[in-house]
Chain A
Amino acid sequence: MTATSASDTHVAARASDVWKVYGSGEAQVIALRGVTADFERGRFTAIMGPSGSGKSTLMHCLAGLDAVTRGQVFIGGTQVTGLGDAGLTKLRRDKVGFIFQQFNLLPTLTAQENILLPLSIAGRKADQAWFDTVIETVGLRDRLGHRPSQLSGGQQQRVACARALVARPEVIFADEPTGNLDSRSGAEVLGFLKRSVREYGQTIVMVTHDPVAASYADRVVFLADGQIVSELLDPTPEAVLDTMKRLDVLTVGVAE
């Protein structure tokens, strides 16, 4: 397995028969049931599914934030499963970027310092040209000296996007990045994510329940009941919504 994934240079992240089980006995909940998926380099993939389908769990497992019960996860050439805390920290530092629903900026740092934080933690210098490109892309040039409390929600999330982009990670994982934004700010943020994939070849994996957000992706993977049940390439909002409706019926059917 390791050999194959290492050679598959077009794959940025891979889940291979991933199971995730919470609790035991009566209280046992199976969040993921043998998920296998490849996330290609330079593509924008959305993971969708109803509440409780396991989409966030899958993302957390892919990002090394959560341990899997069975199966393997790879980021680039690195096997994530089996890494200790130090290894996971290094992985997050060097290969993974995050965008969270609640922005998660450090209130004590300015926008610029927040953006450069992952690099300074790793003790790396920012590539000035790339930094300027990122700042231009997210349009924060005149806000760099502000602290998070002086920025709007949309601006804060753009800072978070820039923070993820500036380190040029193997994959950026975005967890409902537009969940806390109004539709206009949301559209702006999704616009940058799409541009960073198109123009700079960034790999992004985004979890969302919003069909409009999902339609910005190149590919949508649908999860229900811990399994991948469907997939759409070059989705439109309507196609996504249709698939979701079918899944709802399916899920309700399973539950009954």
Chain B
Amino acid sequence: MLRATLKSLLARKLRLVLSGLAVVLGVMFVSGAFVLTDTLGRSFDAVFSSAYSQTDVGVAAKPKIEMSEMEGEEVQAPFPASVLDEVRSVPGVAKATGTVAADGAQVIGSNGKVLTSFGPPQIGQAWTGEDGLTELREGRGPTADNEIAVNVTVADAAKIKVGDQVRVQTLEPAKPFTLVGIFGYSGGRDSLGGVQEVAFTEKAAQQLLVGETGVYTGITVKADSGVSHTKLRDEIATKLGTGYEVKTGQQLSDEASDSLKEGLAFFNNILLGFAGVALFVGIFLILNTFSIIVAQRTRELALMRAVGASRGQMIGSVLVEAIVIGLLASVLGLGAGVGVGALLAYAFGSLGGGLQMASVGIPLAAVISAFVVGLFVTVIAAVLPALRASRIPPVAAMQDVATPDRPLTKITVAGAVVGAIGGALLGLGLSGNAGDSTLWTILAGVLVTFIGVALLTPLISKPVVALLGRLFSWSVPGKLGRLNSGRNPRRTAITAAALMVGIALVTGVTVILDSAKSSFTSLAENTIDAELVISGTQTGPRPPSFDPAVLDQAAKLPGVQETAGIYWDRAVINGENDGVTAISDVAALTDIYHAKATAGTISSLGDDQMLVDADTAKDKGLSVGQSLTVQTTRGDAKTYTLSGIYEASELYGGFVLPVAAAKDFAVPKPTQAYLKLAPGTTVAQVQPQVEALLANSPEVSVADRATFIDQQTSSLDGVLQMIQILLALAILIAVLGIVNTLALSVLERTRELGLLRAIGLRRAQTMRMVTVEAVVISMFGAILGVVVGSGLGASVVRALKDQGIDDLVLPWAQMGLFVGVAAIVGVVAAVLPAIRAARLDVLRAIAHE
């Protein structure tokens, strides 16, 4: 039995390769994800254990605001220099060095642009001299407050050399410095994981990075030889008391590495998303292939039954085929996955500015998941065809095989039920009642809905395919092709459903994004009453910002009626973590955003007063006159009186502090500004002057309102591109499915094709017939996908009404494009099967059993 199975498997190599390819792709992404995270993880481990190699024990003050990874980066609170003496007095401390370091020292390159970073921080620090880790490559450390040294990564990226005048922006706007040294790290490394470092004198660092002198952000302790690090840590902690975090170098290294690895989960999820789509579509493909093979081998299988094979053996024989394909696909997928993982790790490393890659490893998890996923998917897909094979009666061997069209009642009922369950899951997820598992509920809902629609497809396919086919019925080959595509609704349906999944996904996302864009645009047009906007694109963890002096200068320009600069920070308000803003001119809240007071007054704000929007006030039970304690990222906590409550719009809400508070924000500079022009003044008159003011703030630019809205919504285009890659993948697999189905159909209809050729069908006509069949199937899939995708997208948009997305935009042009692309896809998929059909030897085809 096993031998017979393997032989029949070998006889149909090509079509098994085609159906296995989807599994290969899926497995590739799964194992690629594991290899990538493993390689990057070990690389980061190496970076951090090296970065903390000179630290036996590290001391830092507790941050003023504790934040999760999602909320942003914690900012180390500074502590007085006297703490250093306390640490030094602890027995066992050989050497203690006070350090000043903070993220946010941005060098302006020789081209006038701010050096950006995609991930790794831009650290500014006090120069503490060479140690076992830091090594000067050129020049010397800074000794005057207008001197800096940078690491090789910065020097290379900014194209600067020792002796150059270099501008650096910190908490303060860009200031010029003399570059006196370039340093690297032990082992010839140019950076530690792509981190950009700028070293100042201690005093300059304190002033520029912390905002006050005589303070440190950390202490690096070297222990006397023979002193246990953990014991020393505990002794220092006891000495300093609460308010300080004292950790060993090992601990610090592990924590830093772990938190970065969490960030990697994002990449992992993208890859796993790709894998999910590939595998889901792959299931359709394998199911179809096995179904057709079983149908074609009815006689052979019945013969086996007739000569004594049991039903179990029939099931076994199909499943063994599936297992063999699954195993092969897993091995190939794993191999490809290691390649993809290594490639991505390499790309990630070079993009991040030279992370030293650890050697590529194959984690056990990658191997296990590759085989589990590959086998599971193939076997699941083969179960139904296997059951069908086992139900073939032995007598079928004796009859002329006429597989009657099984009624579609059962499958339709099943589809309706599954579809309803999917809809219910979606509804639950979108209503927000599913709690923590909202995302999963929605995903499961989408998945189950797809399966439900796929089950309903055979029923839908009859009228739709007939209608679509009319487009091509003007010629005889076209008509034959249309009839062929309608003759096996199940087969057509599954093939089309594979295409549907990809197109539905991308249509759904496009509907959501386009609706969001349109909603945002109309909202912004209706609520922002300003002609010019200063803003920049955020690339790293810190928002782009500019010199607050620009605001005053802009306000004095002729034609500018009002300016409003927005500052942003995270804060702890009465013990709760929240966001706060400050507006340079609080009147703008009324004039530019048209906010209305619901209680108190909002047109002015004293230095110890604050505002809040009505929704937040209601949530937290706040009322005018109440006192609130606010701790911003830096400085001390301060008490404010709530002096006004305003009605929030989607574009402006939350707590508003007086602009004086902004000096203690993580970024004490405005990140955005709105300029309202005097009546009769045109944008063209003012814009160039504002541009001139921003010459020293290269991170931001000034744009009119329409351009600003475009800039804001263009971030959505990135998401769309990601989805389009996903679509390309899903379409690729669906094309394989169409090729597969057609190839099998052509084989199955060999005799028919022979007959048609015998009675005078030309080769070209034969090819046209096969092509029409493919185009009808693929267009059907695309139309189904567009309809299902619009439905999914529309229901999400409806659910997001509360979030301000109230325009439903259906991307007609794109949907038309998808159907058009699908038609092309059909033509492409038909090429090989059509050539094969046209090349059939007429005589042999007629004699074909």
| A118 partner residues in chain B, CB cutoff 8 A | 759-760
**How does the 8 Å CB contact mask read for B385-411 relative to A, with 1 for contact and 0 for none?**
000000000000000001010000000
Interface centre among B402, B755, B843, B846 (most CB of A within 10 A): B755
Cβ-defined partner of A149 (8 Å) among B402, B762, B763: B402
Interface residue B480 (Cβ < 8 Å from any Cβ of A): yes
* Min CB gap A129→B, angstroms: 22
Chain A residues within 8 Å of B691, by CB:
none
Residues of A within 8 A of B843 (CB): 60, 65-66
Whether A250 sits at the interface, judged by CB under 8 Å, is no
Q: In whole angstroms, how far apart are the Cα atoms of A183 and B652 in the complex?
A: 91
A233 interface hit (Cβ, 8 Å): no
Alpha-carbon gap, A90 to B752, bound state (A): 18
- CB-nearest residue of chain A relative to B476? A120
Considering the complex, give the chain A residue whose CB is closest to the CB of B486. A108
Inter-chain CA distance A90–B760, complex, in Å, is 6
The reply to whether A121 and B761 contact each other, CB–CB distance below 8 Å, is: yes
Contact A121 B755 (CB under 8 A): no
Contacts A107-B487, A149-B402; is A93 near B760 (CB within 8 Å)?
Answer: yes
**A86 to B487 Cα, complex, angstroms:** 29
**Distance in Å from the Cβ of A202 to the closest Cβ of chain B?**
16
Q: Which of A172-221 contact B (CB under 8 A)?
A: none
Interface of chain B residues 479 through 536 with chain A (CB within 8 A): 480, 483-484, 486-487
CB of B762 within 8 A of CB of A89, answer yes
Q: Please state if A98 and B483 are interface contacts (CB–CB under 8 Å).
A: no
Q: Which residue of B lies closest to A102 (CB)?
A: B751
Bound complex: CA of A28 vs CA of B251, how far in Å?
A: 84
Measured between alpha carbons, how far is A23 from B486 in the docked complex, in Å? 42
User: Is the C-beta of A131 less than 8 angstroms from some C-beta in chain B?
Assistant: no
Contacts of A98 in B (CB 8 A): 755, 758-759
Q: Give the residue of A90, A92, A97, A109 whose beta carbon is less than 8 angstroms from that of B483.
A: A109
B483 and A163 within 8 A (CB): no
Contact A89-B487, Cβ < 8 Å, known A102-B751, A106-B752: no
B484-A89 in contact (CB<8A): no
A122 at interface by CB-CB < 8 Å: yes
Which chain B residues border A94 with CB–CB below 8 Å? 760
A85 lies within 8 A of B402 (CB)? no
In the assembly, what is the distance between CA of A93 and CA of B486, in Å? 27
Q: Quick one: closest B residue to A60, CB to CB? A: B843
Chain B residues near A107: list those with CB within 8 A.
487, 752
Interface residues on B, range: 20 to 34
Residue contact B760 to A92, C-beta cutoff 8 Å: yes
Contact with A along B171-194 (1 / 0, CB 8 A): 000000000000000000000000
Minimal Cβ-Cβ distance residue in A for B752: A106
B residues 757-777 with Cβ under 8 Å of A? 757-763, 765
Question: Are A121 and B842 closer than 8 Å at their CB atoms?
Answer: no
Give complex CA distance A194, B486 in Å.
38
Determine how close the nearest CB of chain A comes to the CB of B695; give it in whole angstroms: 74
Task: Judge whether B480 and A108 touch: CB under 8 Å.
Answer: yes
- A104 & B761 in contact (Cβ 8 Å cutoff): no
Q: How far is the CB of B475 from chain A (nearest CB, A)?
A: 9
Does B573 sit within 8 A of A, measured CB to CB?
A: no
Instruction: Tell me whether B484 and A100 are in contact (CB under 8 A).
Output: no
Contacts of A80 in B (CB 8 A): none
Q: Is A135 an interface residue (CB 8 A)?
A: no
- Size bracket of the A interface: 20 to 34
A106 and B484 alpha carbons, distance in the complex (Å): 10
Residues of A within 8 A of B759 (CB): 92-93, 97-98, 117-118, 121, 163
Contact (Cβ within 8 A) B402 A122: no
Bound form: Cα–Cα A201–B634 in Å: 108
User: CA A106 – CA B757 in complex, angstroms?
Assistant: 12
Residues of B within 8 A of A104 (CB): 751-752, 754-755, 846
With a CB–CB cut-off of 8 A, which chain B residues contact A92? 757-760
B763 touches A85 (CB 8 A): yes
Asked if B756 CB lies within 8 Å of chain A CBs, one says yes
Residues of B within 8 A of A90 (CB): 760
B480, B754, B758: most-surrounded residue (chain A CB, <10 A): B758
Q: CB distance A121 to B760 under 8 Å?
A: yes
B755 touches A65 (CB 8 A): no
Check B765 against A108 for contact (C-beta < 8 Å): no
Q: Mark A77-96, 1 if CB is under 8 A from B, else 0.
A: 00000000110011011100
Interface bits B577-597 vs A (CB < 8 Å: 1, else 0):
000000000000000000000
Least distance between A60 CB and chain B CB atoms (Å): 6
B758 touches A65 (CB 8 A): yes
Per-residue CB contact flags for chain B residues 808-849 toward chain A (1 = under 8 Å, else 0) read 000000000000000000000000000000000011001000
Query: Do B484 and A121 have beta carbons less than 8 Å apart?
Result: no
In the complex, A161 Cα to B492 Cα: how many Å? Answer: 32
Closest partner residue, chain B, to A149 (CB atom) = B402
Q: For residue A248, give the distance in angstroms from its CB to the closest CB of chain B.
A: 25
Chain A hits for B754, CB < 8 A = 104
Q: Complex formed: what's the CA distance from A35 to B843 in Å?
A: 20
How far is it, in angstroms, between the C-alpha of A90 and the C-alpha of B480 when the chains are bound? 19
| Nearest CB in chain B: distance from A89 CB, A | 5
Whether B755 pairs with A89 at a CB distance below 8 angstroms is no
In whole angstroms, how far apart are the Cα atoms of A100 and B847 in the complex? 9
Contact A106 B480 (CB under 8 A): yes
- Shortest Cβ distance from residue A55 to the other chain B in the assembled complex, whole angstroms: 15
B842 and A108 within 8 A (CB)? no
Binary CB contact string for chain B from 309 to 323 against chain A (1 if under 8 A, 0 otherwise): 000000000000000
A90 — nearest CB in chain B belongs to which residue? Answer: B760
Q: How far is the CA of A98 from the CA of B751 in the complex (A)?
A: 14
Residues of A within 8 A of B755 (CB): 98, 100, 104-106
Contacts of A149 in B (CB 8 A): 402, 404
Task: Verify B756–A121 contact, CB threshold 8 A.
Answer: yes
CA distance A158 to B599 in the complex (A): 93
| Chain A 110-146: CB-based contact to B (< 8 A → 1; otherwise 0) | 0000000110111100000000000000000000000
Docked Cα-Cα span, A121 to B465, in Å, equals: 22
How far is the CB of B490 from the nearest CB of chain A, in Å? 16
Residues A108 and B483 in contact, CB atoms below 8 Å apart: yes
CB proximity to B under 8 Å, residues A48-77: 60, 65-66
Closest Cβ of chain A to B182, distance in Å, is 75
Cα–Cα distance between A97 and B843 once the two chains are bound (Å): 14
Q: How far is the CA of A180 from the CA of B759 in the complex (A)?
A: 21
Chain B residue numbers with a CB within 8 Å of A123 are: 476
Residue of A nearest to B487 (CB): A108
**Chain A residues within an 8 Å CB radius of B762:** 86, 89
Shortest C-beta distance, A116 to chain B (Å), equals 10
Question: Within the complex, what minimum Cβ distance (angstroms) separates A175 from chain B?
Answer: 8
Within the complex, what minimum Cβ distance (angstroms) separates A147 from chain B? Answer: 10
Q: What's the Cα separation between A241 and B404 when bound, in Å?
A: 42
> In the bound complex, how far is the Cα of B757 from the Cα of A65, in angstroms?
10
User: Whose C-beta in chain A lies nearest to the C-beta of B843?
Assistant: A65
Distance, CA A107 to CA B404, complexed state (A): 12
Which residues from B are CB-within-8-Å of A66?
A: 843
Q: Which residue of A lies closest to B758 (CB)?
A: A98
Nearest-Cβ distance from residue B86 to partner chain A, whole angstroms: 92
Q: Which residues in A have their C-beta under 8 angstroms from that of B402?
A: 149
With a cutoff of 8 Å between Cβ atoms, the chain A residues found around residue B758 in the complex are 65, 92, 98
Residue of B nearest to A86 (CB): B762
Q: Write the nearest CB–CB distance from B669 to chain A, whole angstroms.
A: 73
Which chain A residues lie closer than 8 Å to B756 at the CB level?
106, 117, 121
Binding site for B on A (CB under 8 A): 60, 65-66, 85-86, 89-90, 92-94, 97-98, 100, 102, 104-109, 117-118, 120-123, 149, 163
| Given A106-B752, A107-B487: 11 more A-B contacts, CB < 8 Å | A60-B843, A89-B760, A89-B763, A92-B757, A92-B758, A102-B751, A104-B754, A104-B755, A108-B483, A118-B759, A120-B476
- List 20 interface pairs A-B (beta carbons < 8 Å), by A numbering: A65-B846, A66-B843, A89-B757, A89-B761, A92-B757, A92-B758, A92-B760, A93-B760, A94-B760, A98-B759, A100-B755, A104-B754, A104-B846, A106-B752, A106-B755, A109-B480, A109-B483, A117-B756, A121-B759, A121-B760
Q: Which 5 A-B pairs have the closest CB atoms?
A: A93-B760, A108-B483, A104-B755, A118-B759, A65-B843
